[in-house]
Amino acid sequence: MAVSRSDLETVRHLPLFQGLAPDALRSLLRDAEVLAFSKRTVIFEQGEPVTRFFGVLSGWVKLYRLRPDGSEVIIEVFGPGESFAEGAIGMPDGYPVSAELVEDGRLLAVPVAGYIERLREDPELVVRTFASLAINLKRLVSRIESGSSLNSSQRVGAFLLHFCPPPKPGGDPVDVRLPYDKKLIASRLGMKPETFSRALANLRTHGVAVRGSKARISDLALLRRHVSPE
């Protein structure tokens, strides 16, 4: 499916394409397409030749590697308004990870060959590409840092704060929808499901109550102090 006008509006907010004039963006994406995938569809597997990178229009995508015993190691999870696999451009050994849809979703698929040609022609696009890679690298570094410096309940609290909508006036409770299932959140945070459950129980004393796929934060300031006591 070609990139529609409404999809183009979403795409232009991806870090790779922010600030590009509409005509320049349409030209850049002339060979791109929008693909709809069902939950658990594997987009690419580790080691496959790098032919495309992606922007997430809807849904969630997990990047993972397999251990020798077949278990998964979650590298990252990307959602709407984020791009992934652009860092694999030019990797001779293929994609360094596998990618799978966590839920039904739509992705912008950008062919690598045409994009590389545009990089050769447009220095500004090179800068944007490096900026996007830097954002993803910073995100990974922050995740590694929090994994080594925060305990499990602090990590879960930080995760909830990341997805927290703007606070309501007057300090009313804030509701947060968990973006994907708890097992994947636990894996994403580098902990076992039982550790994740204990962390959620601990967060009750810090104003967090979780039911199903929703969390209610009764006191944002209290939770922030727990996550960052300094």
Are 39 and 89 members of one domain?
yes
pLDDT at residue 162, as a whole number: 87
Q: What is the pLDDT of residue 124?
A: 79
Looking at the structure, tell me whether residues 142 and 175 fall in a common domain: no
Residues 39, 121, single domain; the answer is: yes
Residue 30 and residue 136 in one domain: yes
Judgement on whether residues 74 and 135 belong to the same structural domain of the protein: yes
- Taking the C-alpha atoms of residue 34 and residue 54, their distance in angstroms, rounded to an integer, is 10
CA gap 184, 186 in Å, rounded: 5
Predicted local confidence at residue 72, as pLDDT: 86
Number of domains making up the chain = 2
My answer on whether 35 and 124 are in the same domain is: yes
CATH classification of the domain holding 166:
1.10.10.10
Q: Are residues 91 and 142 in the same domain?
A: yes
Asked if 217 contacts 164 with a C-beta cutoff of 8 angstroms, the reply is: yes
Residues 163 and 126 in one domain: no
Q: What is the pTM of this model?
A: 0.81
pLDDT of residue 230: 65
Q: Give, for all 230 residues of the chain, the pLDDT tens digit.
A: 777 878 888 888 887 787 777 787 888 888 899 999 999 999 999 999 999 999 999 999 999 998 888 888 898 899 998 889 988 888 889 999 999 999 999 999 999 988 888 888 878 778 877 777 777 777 777 766 666 678 999 999 999 998 888 777 767 889 999 999 999 999 989 899 999 999 999 999 999 999 999 999 998 989 999 998 76
168 and 77, same structural domain?
no
The count of other CB atoms within 10 Å of the CB of residue 66 is: 13
**Contact present, 147 and 158 (Cβ < 8 Å):** no
| 130 plus 178 within the same structural domain | no
What does DSSP say about strands 98-101 and 208-211: parallel, antiparallel, or unpaired? unpaired
Q: Same domain for 144 and 169?
A: no
Q: In degrees to the nearest 10, what's the CA dihedral of 22, 28, 30, 34?
A: -90
Query: In this structure, are 184 and 165 located in the same domain?
Result: yes
Name the residue type at position 200.
Answer: L
Per the structure, the complete domain to which residue 219 belongs is given by 150-227
